[in-house]
Amino acid sequence: MAEQKVKSPQAPERYEDTWLYRIRHSAAHIMAQAVLEMFPEGKVAIGPPIENGFYYDFDLPRTLTPEDLKAIEKRMRQIIAGKHPFKKTVVSAEEARRIFKDQPYKLELIDGLEEGGYDEYGNPLDEKPEISIYQHDTFVDLCRGPHVEHTGQINPSAIKLMNVAGAYWRGDEHNPMLQRIYGTAWETKEQLKEYLHMLEEAKKRDHRKLGKQLQIFTFDEEVGPGLPLWMPNGGILIEELEKLAKEMEYKAGYERVRTPHLTKEDLFLRSGHLPYYAESMYPPMELDDGVRYYIKPMNCPFHHKIFASVPRSYRDLPIRLAEYGTCYRYEKSGELFGLMRVRSMQMNDAHIYCAEEQFEEEFMAVIAMYQEYFDLFGIEKYVMRLSTHHKRGLGKKYVDNERLWLKTEDMVRRAMTNGNVPFVEVPDEAAFYGPKIDVQIWSAIGREFTLATNQVDFAVPERFDLKFINREGKEETPLCIHRAPLSTHERMVGFLIEHYAGAFPVWLAPEQVRIIPITDAHVEYACKLEKQLRAEFVRARADVGAERMNAKIRQAQTFKVPYMLVVGDREVSDGTVSLRRRDGSRQNNMPFGEFMSLVKERIATRSAEL
Ligand SMILES: [Zn+2]
Ligand SMILES: [Zn+2]
């Protein structure tokens, strides 16, 4: 597990230091004890705490059933009641091998610990760790802790085993498939209840389910996995997002460019994506006398070429090149997930080329843009993570220039601190060309998403020989900031579907107004209103179908249309509408002109209100 350092007073406490982490880690051990009592010949692999809970991987003689989970959970409560202390002992590799002589997975982990470079979960580690075991009651685990003092400190009514899933040993499909039991643990019963409620709510909001129901996107076997087809409603969401991005970027001094989907191999060799990034790229095509072409996994190198296409002076900088570029990345089919993990994506991409002294201002302008989007979408909880390099990776996963790494990391750190932006620092997770900021956001119901990155690049501009003439009349290499606050359309729309549970604010709603005539006699008026609304670019539709009024209202509700206008005799004669909002509130006899002003105002201000 990567070591995290909190750099800012407002930064969140790191998970490993929390009491919940100890509770969950301890619950994993207790669960393993209960499972081994049930299957004395069972083998244990690893069992770390994770977000919201813990898991443990087992190699067992048979498949676990839901009844087994109940029995294991019951036994866990008994163990908890025993108030068994957790005892740590530092051991030699020899002793550890003796203790775990019947546990082949642990023996493999001990090898990693002894050689150094791996922790007790098999994760890469900097230093050579001491080997320690933790024991409570009859169960001993290879473990560095930390744990609660004794099992009685775990609240027996705040734990729950969730499900069993298959997991390969060390995540490698050539290894044996193990059974992974997931559990959750909290401090109080109420917290557990709240969490389970959040999961229920998340299921209802699942973008894969809602996306289908609201006819936003679809997948097709013949098109291929991970290649979403945007339906008309999805097309509107995307257009609105692009419009938003273009307005924001125009105001912030960006210029828009367009680049091809295909390029010669040479471009990605120069950028360094080949060969290092090759496994995320589609295989090359051979064209014109054996020249190899790739479809692009990212837009950066094209923008660099545009920067380089004309001589630049310090007076021209910063130059901000933006493009909603379509990229293609090869994700393994097992890793594809709805709109969140796809093979084709359109990115809210831009590259800012600036001189070093302009860096802080540019970088903070990008952070401010993120925050403006968060306000607009009502994203209240977010965390920025600054990923830095590690000495060990220099020349391997990181560009080999320690001086520049330290310098740019410090620039970012200073910019964030000066701007009073809370952030957490994570060593050894940078991009290969520079430090980056990852943004984690939480949806309305508290589900976590990683949205966008803001990266500083001090290496690639040099590889591309990018230059500008500085004040002294000398050639200088600019810094490049890669940024994508609205992420990709795929990820953003997936997030927004779940965040709003499909009830989009008026400006974003694919259909903003549905007009419902009470009888056929009112169809003409309904169609007239539709026409007037559309003339003002309000997305309105008169439902002139044969169903009864109530069926039409239900239909509009299914699609979460923000406004319904019901029109009958009175409305026709008065030139009014009866407004029903999506939230159920109503306003009868509203002059149509008044409604028109309302809807136009909501759209123009991108208001969150109905
Ligand atoms: Zn442990
Ligand atoms: Zn880029």
448-457 and 479-483 beta bridge pairing: antiparallel
pLDDT of residue 287: 86
Q: Is the pLDDT of residue 442 over 60?
A: yes
Q: In one letter, which amino acid is 50?
A: I
Distance 299 CA to ligand 2 centre (A): 6
Greater model confidence, 117 or 270:
270
Distance 352 CA to ligand 2 centre (A): 9
Distance 314 CA to ligand 2 centre (A): 22
pLDDT tens per residue, range 225-244: 999 999 999 999 999 999 99
pLDDT tens per residue, range 499-524: 999 999 999 999 999 999 999 999 99
- Give the DSSP letter of residue 379: -
Q: In one letter, which amino acid is 194?
A: E
pLDDT tens per residue, range 193-218: 999 998 998 899 999 999 999 999 99
Tell me which residue range forms the domain holding 586: 513-604
Q: Is the pLDDT of residue 10 over 60?
A: no
- The share of the chain scoring above pLDDT 70, in percent, equals 98
Q: Is the pLDDT of residue 4 over 70?
A: no
Dihedral of the CA atoms 596, 597, 600, 602 (nearest 10)? -120
Q: Is the pLDDT of residue 145 over 80?
A: yes
Same domain, 416 and 539: no
Structure tokens at 509: 């709603």
Distance 307 CA to ligand 2 centre (A): 13
The reply to whether 198 falls in a domain is no
pLDDT of residue 160: 97
Band of residue 430 on the pLDDT scale cut at 50, 70, 90: confident
Q: What is the CATH number of the domain that holds 419?
A: 3.30.930.10
Band of residue 7 on the pLDDT scale cut at 50, 70, 90: very low
pLDDT of residue 6: 39
Q: How many domains in the chain?
A: 3
The reply to whether 507 falls in a domain is no
Query: Counting ligands in written order, which one lies closest to the CA of residue 297?
Result: 2
The reply to whether 136 falls in a domain is yes
Q: Is the pLDDT of residue 1 over 70?
A: no
The reply to whether 205 falls in a domain is no
Band of residue 115 on the pLDDT scale cut at 50, 70, 90: confident
Distance 173 CA to ligand 1 centre (A): 24
The reply to whether 3 falls in a domain is no
pLDDT tens per residue, range 376-392: 999 988 889 999 999 88
Distance 264 CA to ligand 2 centre (A): 18
Q: How many CA atoms lie within 13 A of 266 on its CB side?
A: 5
What distance in Å separates the CA atoms of residue 340 and residue 449, rounded to the nearest whole number? 9
Distance 301 CA to ligand 2 centre (A): 8
Task: Taking residues 119-148, report their average pLDDT.
Answer: 88
Do 394 and 402 form a contact (C-beta atoms < 8 A)?
yes
Query: Counting ligands in written order, which one lies closest to the CA of residue 436?
Result: 2
The reply to whether 505 falls in a domain is no
pLDDT of residue 431: 82
Distance 27 CA to ligand 1 centre (A): 9
Distance 337 CA to ligand 2 centre (A): 23
Query: Counting ligands in written order, which one lies closest to the CA of residue 49?
Result: 1
pLDDT tens per residue, range 540-573: 999 999 999 999 999 999 999 999 999 999 999 9
Band of residue 433 on the pLDDT scale cut at 50, 70, 90: confident
Q: Which string of b and e fits 472-497 if b means at least 16 CB within 10 Å?
A: eeeebbbbbbbbbbbbbbbbbbbbbb
Q: Is the pLDDT of residue 116 over 80?
A: no
Q: Hunting for tokens 């310090």 — which residue is that?
A: 314
Task: Taking residues 442-450, report their average pLDDT.
Answer: 85
Q: Is the pLDDT of residue 410 over 80?
A: yes
Q: Is the pLDDT of residue 248 over 80?
A: yes
Of 470, 500, 530, the residue that ends a domain is 500
In sequence order, the 6+-apart residues with CB closer than 8 A to the CB of 136 are 26, 29, 30, 33, 79, 84, 85, 86, 87, 147, 150, 151
Q: Is the pLDDT of residue 368 over 90?
A: yes
Distance 53 CA to ligand 1 centre (A): 13
3-state secondary structure 26-60: HHHHHHHHHHHHHCCCCEECCCCEECCEEEEEEEC
Distance 46 CA to ligand 1 centre (A): 8
Q: What is the CATH number of the domain that holds 600?
A: 3.40.50.800
Task: Taking residues 40-48, report their average pLDDT.
Answer: 96
Whether the CA torsion 329, 330, 333, 335 is positive or negative: it is negative
Same domain, 173 and 24: yes
pLDDT of residue 12: 58
The reply to whether 223 falls in a domain is yes
Task: Taking residues 60-76, report their average pLDDT.
Answer: 96
Q: Exposed, middle or buried by CB within 10 Å (0-12, 13-18, 19+), for 206?
A: middle
Distance 131 CA to ligand 1 centre (A): 12
Same domain, 329 and 424: yes
Query: Counting ligands in written order, which one lies closest to the CA of residue 26?
Result: 1
The reply to whether 387 falls in a domain is yes
Q: Is the pLDDT of residue 3 over 50?
A: no
Distance 69 CA to ligand 1 centre (A): 20
Task: Taking residues 299-323, report their average pLDDT.
Answer: 97
Distance 460 CA to ligand 2 centre (A): 10
Same domain, 74 and 119: yes
Q: Is the pLDDT of residue 127 over 80?
A: no
pLDDT of residue 11: 52
Same domain, 459 and 524: no
Q: Is the pLDDT of residue 118 over 60?
A: yes
Distance 73 CA to ligand 1 centre (A): 18
Query: Counting ligands in written order, which one lies closest to the CA of residue 452?
Result: 2
Distance 126 CA to ligand 2 centre (A): 29
Q: Is the pLDDT of residue 276 over 80?
A: no
Same domain, 420 and 537: no
- Give the DSSP letter of residue 120: T
Same domain, 218 and 240: yes
Distance 488 CA to ligand 2 centre (A): 13
**Which residues are near ligand 2, the ion (C-beta closer than 5 Å)?**
300, 482
Distance 139 CA to ligand 1 centre (A): 11
Same domain, 102 and 239: no
Distance 190 CA to ligand 1 centre (A): 26
What distance in Å separates the CA atoms of residue 358 and residue 214, rounded to the nearest whole number? 45
Q: Is 112 left (phi over 0), alpha (psi -120 to 50) or beta?
A: alpha
Distance 480 CA to ligand 2 centre (A): 9
Q: What is the CATH number of the domain that holds 64?
A: 3.30.980.10
Q: Quick check: helix, strand or coil at residue 476?
A: strand
Distance 509 CA to ligand 2 centre (A): 30
Same domain, 308 and 427: yes
> Over the chain, what is the mean pLDDT?
93
Query: Counting ligands in written order, which one lies closest to the CA of residue 454?
Result: 2
Same domain, 362 and 486: yes
pLDDT of residue 328: 96
Query: Counting ligands in written order, which one lies closest to the CA of residue 348?
Result: 2
Same domain, 242 and 364: yes
Same domain, 33 and 155: yes
Query: Counting ligands in written order, which one lies closest to the CA of residue 457?
Result: 2
